[in-house]
């Protein structure tokens, strides 16, 4: 069975870009509209522990998604 090479730098860069994009999307662009639609107080503050937990889970989830997509691309690449 051939060994599948994954570019870890590309996966890490993808996760960081996703975090920045998510921050901009949910704060600057649609922050207030999203909070209103979800029933949250747009001016309310969450606890720091809740925010850290949510960010950590988001980063881990993004890492797994990027890893699986990179592996999928490597497996289905006809050039290797």
pLDDT at 41: 84
- Summarised one tens digit per residue, pLDDT across range 44-66 is 787 889 889 989 999 999 999 99
Kindly provide the residue ranges of all beta strands, DSSP E only, lying in the chain, ordered along the sequence.
none
Cα–Cα distance measured from residue 24 to residue 33, given in angstroms and rounded to the nearest whole number: 13
pLDDT digits (tens, 9 = 90+) for 5-44: 899 999 999 999 999 999 999 888 998 898 889 888 878 7
**Helical H segments across 27-47, by residue range:** 31-38
Domain residue spans in the chain? Answer: 8-74
Q: What is the pLDDT of residue 45?
A: 80
Does residue 3 or residue 49 have the better pLDDT? 49
Contact 4, 74 (CB under 8 A): yes
pTM of the shown model: 0.76
């Amino acid at each position: 069975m051939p060994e599948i090479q994954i570019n870890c730098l590309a996966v890490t860069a993808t996760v960081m870009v996703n975090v920045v994009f998510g921050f901009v999307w949910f704060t600057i662009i649609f922050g207030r509209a999203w909070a209103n639609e979800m029933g949250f107080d747009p001016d309310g503050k969450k606890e720091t522990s809740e925010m850290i937990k949510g960010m950590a889970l988001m980063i881990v989830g993004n890492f797994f998604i990027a890893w699986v997509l990179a592996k999928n691309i490597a497996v289905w690449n006809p050039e290797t």
